[in-house]
DNA sequence: CTGAACATCT
């Protein structure tokens, strides 16, 4: 399957980089990934006795995690002798994206026990786990521990995660105050999370405020208009919806596309 | 060479 002959009849054997790239493609393919193809690559690895290196193992975990095959992801992880921070991040992420927030957080304990130092990606994943599991206290503690315990300076992604954590738990007031107290200007991703929190809570007034700032930052981002307009609509605030429509036209966005802006790019 | 990453919209 994997051996290809070129025009001159040469046979090319895939090396580690080839297999890792292919697995990454399977994991990131839109529409839930390509599990069948990923499994075929795993089969190839087994049949040809290809050594499962740290890179290859991590790519396998990620592929299985993202295609919903958590069992296989865990199996690959358990068999790996050498693990790096990416390997741990991949398994924690697999657990989170398959609804096992608690287990993901337990895995972080194992990681620390094995003296593996987490990095900024680890915390994005952990904070996401807390947001989904509604573990507000723990999430805030983890966020604080980044700088105090692990010497990692939280970046805008982490602030966005905390806003999402508070927002999902219905703590809109806290989310808003958290943004106000950020050490740098909140960027679009943070304001986007706050706007999402407004939607959950149905707070039109704050949404109005945040939405205006957000549209100043991203006047061409049609998704932002959609969220804001939905918040207005849910509240029956047709006046604001009409006004928003005018702003859209002014910014040259004349129509909400049938499909996602991101999906069509 | 090659691996890990939140959330929101139709």
Check: CB of residue A27 under 8 Å from CB of residue A62. Answer: yes
Q: How far is CA A129 from CA A58, A134, A235, A257, in A?
A: 20, 8, 30, 32
The residue whose two tokens read 């149905």 is A202
| Protein residue at shortest CA distance from C1' of B8 | A196
Question: According to the model, what pLDDT value does residue A1 have?
Answer: 54
Reading the block at residue A202, the tokens are: 């149905």
Closest CA to A116 of A137, A86, A141: A86
The residue whose two tokens read 């909400």 is A256
Please tell me the distance from the alpha carbon of residue A111 to that of residue A116, in angstroms, as a whole number: 5
Check: CB of residue A91 under 8 Å from CB of residue A126. Answer: no
Reading the block at residue A54, the tokens are: 């740290």
Closest CA to A165 of A142, A139, A199: A139
Give, as ranges, the nucleotides of chain B with any atom within 7 Å of a protein CB.
Answer: 1-10
Question: According to the model, what pLDDT value does residue A29 have?
Answer: 87
Q: How far does the CA of A42 sit from the C1' of B4, in Å?
A: 19
Question: According to the model, what pLDDT value does residue A227 have?
Answer: 87
pTM of the model: 0.89
Show the low-confidence residues of chain A (pLDDT under 50): 259-265
Scanning every strand, the nucleotide with its C1' closest to A168's CA turns out to be B7
| Protein residue at shortest CA distance from C1' of B2 | A17
Residue A182, CA atoms < 13 Å, CB-side half-sphere: 21
Please tell me the distance from the alpha carbon of residue A54 to that of residue A225, in angstroms, as a whole number: 43
Q: How far does the CA of A7 sit from the C1' of B5, in Å?
A: 40
Reading the block at residue A103, the tokens are: 């287990």
Question: According to the model, what pLDDT value does residue A171 have?
Answer: 93
Q: How far does the CA of A136 sit from the C1' of B10, in Å?
A: 31
Question: According to the model, what pLDDT value does residue A115 have?
Answer: 94
Strands A11-12 and A4-5 come out as antiparallel
- CB A206: neighbour CB atoms within 10 A? 18
Check: CB of residue A159 under 8 Å from CB of residue A190. Answer: yes
Q: How far does the CA of A262 sit from the C1' of B10, in Å?
A: 11
The residue whose two tokens read 């219905």 is A170
Closest CA to A143 of A201, A197, A157: A157
Question: According to the model, what pLDDT value does residue A261 have?
Answer: 46
Q: How far does the CA of A63 sit from the C1' of B2, in Å?
A: 14
Check: CB of residue A199 under 8 Å from CB of residue A211. Answer: no
């Amino acid at each position: 399957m994997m051996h290809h002959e070129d025009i001159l009849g040469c046979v090319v054997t895939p090396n580690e980089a080839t297999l890792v790239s292919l697995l990454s493609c399977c994991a990131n393919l839109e529409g839930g990934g390509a599990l069948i193809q990923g499994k075929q690559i795993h089969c190839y690895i087994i049949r040809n006795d290809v050594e499962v290196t740290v890179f290859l193992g991590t790519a396998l975990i990620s592929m299985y995690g993202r295609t919903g095959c958590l069992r296989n992801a865990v199996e690959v992880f358990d068999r790996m002798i050498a693990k790096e921070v990416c390997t741990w991040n991949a398994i924690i992420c697999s657990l989170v994206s398959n609804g096992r927030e608690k287990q993901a957080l337990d895995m972080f304990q194992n990681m620390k026990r094995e003296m593996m130092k987490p990095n900024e990606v680890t915390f994005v994943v952990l904070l996401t786990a807390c947001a989904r599991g509604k573990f507000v206290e723990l999430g805030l503690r983890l966020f604080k521990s980044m700088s105090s315990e692990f010497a990692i300076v939280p970046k805008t992604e982490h602030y966005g995660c905390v806003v999402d954590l508070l927002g999902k738990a219905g703590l809109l007031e806290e989310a808003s105050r958290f943004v106000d107290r950020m050490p740098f200007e909140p960027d679009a991703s943070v304001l986007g999370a706050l706007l999402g929190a407004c939607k959950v809570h149905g707070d039109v007034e704050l949404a109005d405020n945040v939405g205006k700032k957000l549209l100043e930052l991203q006047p061409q981002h049609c998704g932002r208009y959609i969220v804001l307009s939905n918040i207005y609509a849910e509240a029956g605030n047709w006046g604001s919806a009409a006004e928003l429509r005018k702003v859209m036209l002014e910014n040259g966005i004349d129509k909400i596309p049938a499909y996602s802006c991101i999906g069509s790019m």
